[in-house]
Amino acid sequence: MRQLLIRRLLQTIPLLIFVSIVCFAMIKLAPGDPVLSFVTPNMHAEDIERIRHNLGLDKPAYIQYFLWIKEAVTGNLGYSLVNHQPVTEQILDRLPATAGLMGAALALAVLLAIPLGLLAGANRGRWIDKLVNLVAYVGISVPLFWLAILLIYYFSIHLHWLPSMGMRTIGVNSAFDVLKHGIMPCVVLAFSFLAVYVRYIRSSTIGQLREDYVQIQYAYGSTKRIVLMRHVLKHVLLPIITLLGMSMGELVAGAIVTETVFSWPGIGSLGMTAVRGMDYPVIMGITLFSSIMLILGNLAADLLYGVADPRINSKR
């Protein structure tokens, strides 16, 4: 276990360095001069040069990279070109909204996917399997923004049940209000996760049901329900760990479209605003943040998988 941990950590470090270089290069190659956002019409040429010097933009690119990475490691990702607020602060400000939305969506997806996947796998080829399959196919194929628009039309405009945008009603400060705002974005995101999870759970249920231990259980007189709940379920939960780990990377990027449609004040819509306003430090910060989440998520999934199933460690 420890050996695996060390090896995976060692693999992760160069990956992180490369990703940071790519993030940095992408912003460096971007068109436009960041100094211009600080320039006002009555400035002199010396003033502009001084700003450039203060920002470190007169140094060669590799020195700029080291300066940037030195600051980034201590948690300083620079300042927004648009509102001059610290980038780290802005990301942390938005993190709870995104993490809450994603957490709720993932939980909903897993809770629905487990029974549906088990049922479909256990009744292979029957109508329930076909129905679940159809739902899963639609889930991986439906454009989420379209689903969002349809929900907004039906529940906000037609029935007036739910608010169509934002996270809170202005002046109202209650958990119920946030919940009401969050239902639709949560359902939209959960649907896309659900589709992926159901397909995994279904196929691993089918695989488990052919294992010898299942036959033995039947021979001892277990019913199908007991076999499913007591034995198959345990094995089926395993791939979910991996899937959840991989979903960490989706934390930011996966919610961009959904957050934008519902004007949910999370990191995704912060990124959208930054891209529209060419706010490079914010873009760079979000890209780096979500890449790190993705890498760490994959790492966590790998390690947890090893803990949950010791057979895997001995194979590597």
Partner 1 sequence: MNRSKWRSVAEELRSSAFGIAGIVILILFTVAAALAFLSPHDPNALNAIERLKPPSGAHWFGTDDYGRDYFTRALYGGRVSLTVGFASMILATGIGVVVGVASGYFGGWIDNLLMRLVEVVMSIPSFLILLLLSVFLKPSVGNLIIIISLLMWMNIARIVRAETMSLKEREYVLYARASGQGTFGIVRRHILPNLMPVVIVGATNNIASAIMMESSLSFLGFGVQAPNATWGSMLNNAQGLIAQAPYLAVFPGLFILLTVLSFNVLGDILRVGFEPKLVKR
Closest approach of Cβ 206 to partner 1, in Å? 6
| Max Cα-Cα span within the chain | 89
The CB-of-45 to partner 1 minimum distance in angstroms stands at 28
Residue 294 corresponds to which tokens in the numbers above? 């993705």
In this complex, which beta carbon is closest to partner 1, that of residue 211 or of residue 309? Answer: 211
Of the pair 51, 65, the CB lying nearest partner 1 is at 65
Applying CB under 8 A, which residues contact partner 1? 14-15, 18-19, 22-23, 26, 29-31, 137-138, 140-146, 149-150, 152-153, 157, 203, 206-207, 210, 249-250, 252-254, 256-257, 260-261, 271-272, 275, 278, 283, 286-287, 290-291, 294-295
Minimum CB–partner distance for residue 139 and partner 1 (Å) = 10
Nearer to partner 1, 67 or 138 (CB): 138
Kindly tell me which of 90 and 172 has the beta carbon lying closer to partner 1: 90
Nearest in space to 95 (alpha carbons), one of 202, 252, 233, 218: 252
CA-wise closest residue to 305 among 242, 253, 243: 242
Q: What is the smallest separation between the CB atom of 169 and partner 1, expressed in angstroms? A: 19
Distance CA 122, CA 116 (A): 10
User: What backbone torsions phi and psi does residue 86 show, to the nearest 5 degrees?
Assistant: -60, 135
Closer to partner 1 by Cβ: residue 15 or 128: 15
H-run or E-run covering 4: helix 2-29
Q: Which residues contact 4 (CB under 8 A, 6 or more apart)?
A: 303, 306, 313, 316
Assess contact for 94 and 82: CB atoms under 8 A. Answer: no
The CB-of-32 to partner 1 minimum distance in angstroms stands at 9
In the complex with partner 1, the residue whose CB is nearer, 34 or 254, is 254
What is the DSSP track for 109-164? HHHHHHHHHHHHHHTTTSHHHHHHHHHHHHHHHS-HHHHHHHHIIIIIIIS--S--
Nearer to partner 1, 43 or 61 (CB): 61
Question: In the Cβ-directed half-sphere of 80, how many Cα atoms lie within 13 Å?
Answer: 20
Report, in Å, the least distance between residue 172 CB and partner 1.
23
* Least distance from partner 1 to the Cβ atom of residue 244, Å: 17
| Cβ nearer to partner 1, comparing 48 with 129 | 129
Cα atoms in the 13 Å half-sphere on the side-chain side of 191: 22
Q: How far is the CB of 230 from partner 1 (least distance, A)?
A: 22
**Beta bridge mates, 79:** 86
Whole-number Å distance between alpha carbons of 25 and 34: 14
